[in-house]
Amino acid sequence: MTRRFENKVVAITGGSDGIGLATAKLFALEGARVYITGRRQEPLAEAVKEIGHGAVGVQGDVTNSADVARLYERIQRDHQKVDVVFANAGIYEAAPLDAIDDARFDATFNVNVKGMVFTVQKALPLMAAGSAVVLNGSVAGGKGLPGQSLYNASKAAVRSFARSWTNDLKERGIRVNVVSPGGTETRMIRSYLESQPEVEEELSKSVPLGRLGEPNEVAWAVLFLASSESSFVAGHELFVDGGFAAV
């Protein structure tokens, strides 16, 4: 480890498992002071133990702006700054057009879009020039994948915000980028694939590298986008998908 993030303060939403947890572990190993959020206290506490290195968990729901504010209030008390924000929290639910209702629409957009917006907005008072924002998008944001138009659209919104915020924040020296995973071996996708076993085979066949990704493979991309190694990368969408989007 190069300890690229020595004494840097990193905030990660949805850090209790999956890509968020994998990323938190790598940041901690690289010297960062890591703060994670999660909706449920018990998994959050277990994740903090797993991360180690003085990681802090702040229980909260990203759809509740007061919970998001509480995360940054804690960080302000401890460090008075945020160097990296990884807006990772998100949900996935497949729903064909005729099955979309108010509850499904609100659930998807409240977490994937509203929660992401306020995760970034409320961090800004603590961010200085040289800070970085990484948004968790998806290859679905640029695809018309069938039966999941709500999810696709929510991730397309993430990509759009990154473009706009790159211009909005350029004078402050804050970079914004998107990491867009393909199918990744997380608890969320595994529960879906177990209910649809034929989908996993088709998904693997559609990926040139022939498999699902691993959370660590996405996490390394996040660290690159958050580090000084990507200092001239802004408004970019980095696909971590085994070639699915490009081929």
State the Cα–Cα distance between residues 181 and 135, nearest whole angstrom.
11
Alpha helices in the chain (DSSP H): 18-29, 41-51, 65-79, 102-109, 116-121, 149-168, 187-195, 197-206, 215-226
Give the DSSP per-residue string, 92-148.
Answer: -----GGG--HHHHHHHHIIIIIIHHHHHHTTGGG--TT-EEEEE--GGGGS--TT-
Answer for the pair 141, 159: CB distance below 8 angstroms, yes or no: yes
- 67: which strand partners? none
User: Is 35 one of the catalytic residues?
Assistant: no
Three-class SS state of 184: strand
| Residue 106 CB neighbour total at 10 angstroms | 12
Q: Which of 35, 72, 92, 151 is catalytic?
A: 151
Closest CA to 93 of 30, 147, 133, 22: 147
| Residues acting as catalytic residues | 151
